[in-house]
């Protein structure tokens, strides 16, 4: 989608520190990390957020979630623990409307995502 920063990363029109890529998804380092490990995992398809997921996306999302485990292992945070977060809409503070999973870890993260 035009004017979507993450679509531009998918198309390599803007640079990103890519840690994993296949035909369905891409994972790259967050530009403004909120933890020692802060990687974003996105489908290549432009989907604005969770509300826009359809039945046809089941395989894609299952694939992404399973790959998140592999990326956590690659980042050496699988054993110490990590958080996977999707922000949806205004009250969740979603800034980029191309669905993305935040993979956070590498240090204690606090009990829950807080305000
Ligand atoms: P949201 O608030 O939408 O859940 O998260 C958007 C995330 O994307 C933020 O953590 C922000 O730092 C990150 N981000 C925004 N623009 C860019 C960019 O151009 N490159 C990278 N690597 N991350 C970005
Ligand atoms: Zn997009």
Q: What percent of the chain has pLDDT over 90?
A: 93
What is the tens place of the pLDDT at every residue in 59-96? 999 999 999 999 999 999 999 999 999 999 999 999 99
Angle at 54 between CA 29 and CA 46, to 5 degrees: 40
CATH superfamily of 5-105: HIT-like (3.30.428.10)
Distance CA 9, CA 7 (A): 5
What is the tens place of the pLDDT at every residue in 6-15? 999 999 999 9
Q: Which H or E run includes 43?
A: strand 37-43
Q: What is the pTM of this model?
A: 0.97
Pull the structure tokens for residue 101.
């999973």
What is the tens place of the pLDDT at every residue in 14-52? 999 999 999 999 999 999 999 999 999 999 999 999 999
Going by C-alpha positions, the residue among 62, 61, 60, 74 that lies closest to residue 20 is 74
Q: How far is the CA of 32 from the centre of ligand 1 (A)?
A: 7
- For residue 100, indicate whether it is catalytic: yes
Residue 18 Cβ contacting ligand 1 at under 6 Å: no
Q: How far is the CA of 10 from the centre of ligand 2 (A)?
A: 8
Q: Where are the domains of the chain?
A: 5-105
């Amino acid at each position: 989608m035009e004017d979507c920063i993450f679509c531009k990363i998918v198309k390599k029109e803007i640079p990103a520190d890519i840690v994993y890529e296949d035909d369905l998804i891409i994972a790259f380092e967050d530009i403004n990390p909120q933890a020692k490990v802060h990687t974003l995992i996105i489908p290549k398809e432009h989907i604005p957020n969770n509300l826009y997921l359809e039945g046809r996306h089941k395989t894609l999302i299952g694939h992404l979630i399973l790959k998140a485990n592999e990326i956590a292992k690659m980042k050496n945070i699988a054993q110490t623990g990590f958080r996977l977060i999707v922000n949806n809409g205004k009250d969740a503070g979603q800034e980029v409307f191309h669905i993305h999973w935040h993979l956070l870890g590498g240090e204690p993260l606090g009990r829950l995502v807080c305000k």
